[in-house]
Structure 1
Amino acid sequence: MINLKEILNTFSDEQQQDLLLYLDKKNKRKDAKNCQLVKLIVSDNLSSVEISNKLYGKQNKAALHALRKRLFQSLIDFTANMSMKEENSIDIKLIKYILSARNFLQKGQIKVGYQILDKTIIIANEHQLFPILNEIYHTKIQFAHLNQNLNLEEVIVLFKENQQQLLVEENLNIAYAQIRKSLIDYQHKKSNLDIKKLIEDVLLKQNITISSSLSFKSLYQIIQITSISSAQKFDYWNIEQFLIDTYQIIKNHSSKDKQVYYHIETLYLISNVLFRNKKFKESQQYLELMLFYMKENKQKYFNDFATKHDLLLSLNLNYSKNQVVAIELLEPYIKKKNIDIVSQLDLSLTLIVFYYQHNALEKAQNLFSKFYHTDKWYIEKAGIVWTIKKNLIEILLQIDLGNIDLVDSRLKSFKRNYFLNLTEFNQERVIAYLQLVEIYYKNPEIATSKEFYDKVEKSFNWIDRNKEDVFMMSFYAWLKAKMNKQDVYLVTLDLIKG
């Protein structure tokens, strides 16, 4: 059964109101119950039985099923109309131009038809819409015999050049799909994978090289693929310069003002990598630029990116000695509706860490109690790296809360479920870290001894401080705080500062 609640929760409050207006106008009968169904789904966590009772005053499975089917179809129509008004407005506009031009050409209005096509070419080139350009040139060539003033050979050359651009775009789309699919298999099926080699091999196979001839969307996809691959192995340092260099191509791209959505996405990815590399000032500079473009075009994309922007900004603030401001920025999001599940999980886990570092352990525990799903569910929604992080944080939190029985069960579960994954990620350091945590947990007084200090030093092969991931250092800070009997947040800041 289609999960209508999941679909409706992706809509903003304004979009939900627009949907109700759309349904109301569409209804031909006064007793239509689709608006009522929407309100029940959005406002309450009601079962099908409860919804049926509220709608019909009794159980009526057949009627409710039919109503849900009609609502789902209306949702498809509504989102399609919404998309045509927003994301694909240029595409739809140009398609209408092409259809209009063809109509004039078929009726013998050759001059008017070609004038419309010429106007369409200018707009399509501005936005690098190669599939639409393909249709325009196809139409020009199809009716060329009726236009004595047309330079057919010139149009054929332009048509073939555009076909090459279109082929590059399609090849990149294939590469993007293949890489993302392999990364999902890597996460969920625990398959062995050399991610860097995968990207190199796929791009080479598709004959893709990075240059300004690629569209803004294509350059963004390359940056996204690279960023995702680095996240798998916590290796952000080695891709930083590549991302910044690639952005220099994008920054001066001819269509940067026409493809604002992908521009914002790119700025976010670069800012995230800079944050992970502990370059908080530089990260915030890209966030400021991101916010600038979010406010462009009457804030067209503001709501799409506000959550991601504020989450990353809060992280930068937290690790720049502005912890209270970071907490205040995130707290309102916990009660907000209409936030996608992955963002909600990231927001909650981040705020738990902030509370923990702020010594607000009860607040951290209360928020953690909302993570009531199975690990399998969290892996499917947020990935295995996020789930491992969640489990590690819970173990540390329960140790500090003194919940002995819970710590024992969590440690056993973590070893059983994730040690193999960590080995495949080449993250034996996390295994070594957890083993040290367990030693401390079972014998806390050993933490300040030279024996334990030497064991910690021998257990880790830390890379250069500048290259180490900020989150990895945050976990280590907890252990060092126990060894030095210091505040975990101050130790974290001291470690990051170097």
Structure 2
Amino acid sequence: MIDIKSIINTLNSEEQQKFVAYLHQKNKRKDAKNIQLFKLLAKPDSDSKVICKQLYKTKKSNAYHALRKRLFQSLIDFTANKNLENENSIDMQIIKYIVASRTYLLQKNYDIAYKILDKAEHLADEHLLFPILNEIYHTKIQYASDYPKVNLDTLISKQNENQKKHQLEDQLNMIYAKLKTTLNAINYQGKVINFETELNEILKASKIELNKSLSFKSLYQILAIANISALVTTKYFQIEDFVLKSYDILKSKKETDKQLYYQIQTVYIIANTLFRNKKFETSLIYIKEMEQLMQLKRHVYQKEFILKKTLVEALNLNFLNQQVEAISLIEIIIVKKHNDLETLLDLHLTLLMFYFQKENFVKAKSVLSKFYHTDQWYIEKAGIDWVIKKNIAELLLYIELQEDNLLYSRLKSFKRRYTDYLKQIGQIRILKFLNFAEQYYKKPELVLTKNFKTKLEASFKWTTVKEEDIFVMTFYAWLKNKIEQGNLYKTTLKLIEKP
């Protein structure tokens, strides 16, 4: 059975009101139950059997299932119509031009047909709609012999050039899909895969050149591929120049908002890359640009990107010594209803980190208490990297709160489940870090000895602050602060600011 409730949950309150108005307009019978069913399904704790009994006085009814099917179709029609009013209106206008032109071509009214096709070509080219352009050129070439006014060689040349662009977009789409599948296997299934080898093998046969002919969709997919690589290897510093240069190339084009969704995605990747490379102020400049793009076209993508924008913005503010503002940003956004569960989980974990850095361990524990699902559930929803960070934060919190039973129970569970995995992916230092944390908990006075400090620094050597992963540094800052006996938040900022 199709989960209609999940579709209804994607509608905000304003969209739900519009849908009810749409059903009122559509209904021919006054006794139609579709509005009643919709309102019942929109409630948080709705149950099909209970709803069926409310509507038909029985727990099972063929009429109820037929009503659900009709409501499903209405939801699909409403969603399609809503999108046609916004982003896809250009596509539909061009398709209408093509259909109309073919009617006139069959009637041998070539002058009007080609004028309409010219309009369609101009719009499709302006919006980088390569598949639709292919149909336009195909139609123009098909009837070129009957209309001598057109230059057949020029049309064939345009068609060939468009096919190259379309092929590039398809090629990037396949590469992106393969790499995303590999990433999912690593991140959500905990598989150990040599990602760099996989990346090199996939890209080996691909000769992709960055130039102004690329669409924002193509650029986004190229940058997403680079971002996936950086995410797995945590080497964001290696992709920064490439990401910025690529965006500058396409931004120099006119009317860059024609593929607004992909442009917002691209700016988000840039802002996140700059944050991971500890260039917080520059990252916030791109966050501002992202916010401005989200406001275009009647805020059509506001809901889609608001959590991602808030997450990166809050992280930047936190490391710019504006933690109060960072916490406020997250606390305001997480109380609202959102469909992006993965980013919502990131926001909760980030809030936990902020409170922990602030040494407000009671509030940090309050956030932690909301993570009541199993590790496996969170791996499937947010990825194994998120789960490991959550576990480490939890263990450090139990140390601070001196909760012996919970600490040793969770520590034993963590080591049993993740030791082999961390060794396989070359992250033994996480295990070393937890060993140091356990030593501190058993004998706090140890951290004040020269021997402890020497061993710690030897175990956590990194090339430069610029290249080291920012989240690894925040965990290390906790141990460093125990040695220095200072303020955790200030110690963290000082460590990350080092040249």
Tell me, yes or no, whether TM beats 0.5: yes
Counterpart check, 1:475 vs 2:475: yes
Q: Distance in 1 between matches of 2:253 and 2:196?
A: 27
Q: Deviations over 1:373-429 (max 9, x none)?
A: 222221111111111111111111222222221111211221122223323332222
Counterpart check, 1:152 vs 2:148: no
Conserved 8 A contact 1:141-1:155? yes
**Greater shift after overlay, 121-130 or 37-46?**
37-46
Which residue does 1:105 correspond to in 2? 105
Counterpart check, 1:208 vs 2:208: yes
Q: TM-score, normalised by structure 2?
A: 0.94
SS of the residue corresponding to residue 359 of structure 2 reads coil
- 2:148 partner amino acid: Q
- 1:71 partner amino acid: L
Which residue does 1:400 correspond to in 2? 400
Alignment of 1:300-315 (within 5 A): 300-315=300-315
Which residue does 1:351 correspond to in 2? 351
**Greater shift after overlay, 34-43 or 228-237?**
34-43
Which residue does 2:80 correspond to in 1? 80
Which residue does 2:4 correspond to in 1? 4
Matched residue pairs, number? 498
- Report deviation, 1:114: 0.4
In structure 2, the CA distance between the partners of 1:184 and 1:48, relative to structure 1 (3 Å rule), is: same
Conserved 8 A contact 1:128-1:255? no
In structure 2, the CA distance between the partners of 1:48 and 1:452, relative to structure 1 (3 Å rule), is: farther
- 1:263 partner amino acid: Q
Q: Distance in 1 between matches of 2:53 and 2:350?
A: 40
Which residue does 1:361 correspond to in 2? 361
- Report deviation, 1:218: 0.5
**Greater shift after overlay, 408-417 or 291-300?**
291-300
Conserved 8 A contact 1:342-1:382? yes
- Report deviation, 1:476: 0.9
Q: Deviations over 1:287-338 (max 9, x none)?
A: 1222222223343333332222122111111111111111111112221013
Which residue does 2:287 correspond to in 1? 287
In structure 2, the CA distance between the partners of 1:67 and 1:481, relative to structure 1 (3 Å rule), is: farther
- Report deviation, 1:254: 4.5
Q: Distance in 1 between matches of 2:356 and 2:338?
A: 27
Q: Distance in 1 between matches of 2:199 and 2:109?
A: 50
SS of the residue corresponding to residue 207 of structure 1 reads coil
Q: TM-score, normalised by structure 1?
A: 0.94
Q: Distance in 1 between matches of 2:401 and 2:70?
A: 51
Q: Distance in 1 between matches of 2:419 and 2:151?
A: 67
Give structure 1 regions of 4+ aligned residues with deviation exceeding 6 angstroms: none
Which residue does 2:390 correspond to in 1? 390
In structure 2, the CA distance between the partners of 1:55 and 1:235, relative to structure 1 (3 Å rule), is: farther
Q: Distance in 2 between matches of 1:69 and 1:448?
A: 69
Which residue does 2:118 correspond to in 1? 118
Counterpart check, 1:187 vs 2:190: no
Conserved 8 A contact 2:287-2:313? yes
Q: Deviations over 1:405-456 (max 9, x none)?
A: 1111211221122223323332222121122122222333322222322221
Alignment of 1:120-269 (within 5 A): 120-254=120-254, 256-269=256-269
Alignment of 1:319-334 (within 5 A): 319-334=319-334
Which residue does 1:90 correspond to in 2? 90
Q: Distance in 2 between matches of 1:4 and 1:405?
A: 44
In structure 2, the CA distance between the partners of 1:435 and 1:298, relative to structure 1 (3 Å rule), is: same
- Report deviation, 1:347: 1.6
In structure 2, the CA distance between the partners of 1:250 and 1:421, relative to structure 1 (3 Å rule), is: farther
- Report deviation, 1:58: 4.5
- 1:364 partner amino acid: A
- Report deviation, 1:97: 1.1
Q: Distance in 1 between matches of 2:390 and 2:23?
A: 41
Which residue does 1:42 correspond to in 2? 42
Q: Distance in 1 between matches of 2:481 and 2:475?
A: 10
Q: Distance in 2 between matches of 1:47 and 1:413?
A: 37
- Report deviation, 1:271: 0.8
Conserved 8 A contact 2:188-2:381? no
- Report deviation, 1:80: 1.9
- 1:315 partner amino acid: L
User: Identical aligned pairs, as a percentage?
Assistant: 47
- 2:318 partner amino acid: N
SS of the residue corresponding to residue 478 of structure 2 reads helix
- Report deviation, 1:138: 0.6
In structure 2, the CA distance between the partners of 1:361 and 1:33, relative to structure 1 (3 Å rule), is: farther
- 2:162 partner amino acid: N
Which residue does 1:495 correspond to in 2? 495
Conserved 8 A contact 1:216-1:253? no
SS of the residue corresponding to residue 148 of structure 1 reads coil
- Report deviation, 1:205: 2.0
Q: Distance in 1 between matches of 2:304 and 2:139?
A: 36
Q: Distance in 2 between matches of 1:187 and 1:370?
A: 22
- 2:431 partner amino acid: I
Q: Distance in 2 between matches of 1:211 and 1:33?
A: 55
Conserved 8 A contact 2:179-2:228? no
Which residue does 1:276 correspond to in 2? 276
Q: Distance in 1 between matches of 2:295 and 2:281?
A: 21
- Report deviation, 1:359: 2.6
- Report deviation, 1:90: 1.6
- Report deviation, 1:482: 2.0
In structure 2, the CA distance between the partners of 1:139 and 1:446, relative to structure 1 (3 Å rule), is: same
Structure 1's unaligned 5+ residue stretches are none
SS of the residue corresponding to residue 82 of structure 1 reads helix
Q: Deviations over 1:107-142 (max 9, x none)?
A: 222111100001111111111111111000111112
Conserved 8 A contact 2:220-2:265? yes
Structure 2's unaligned 5+ residue stretches are none
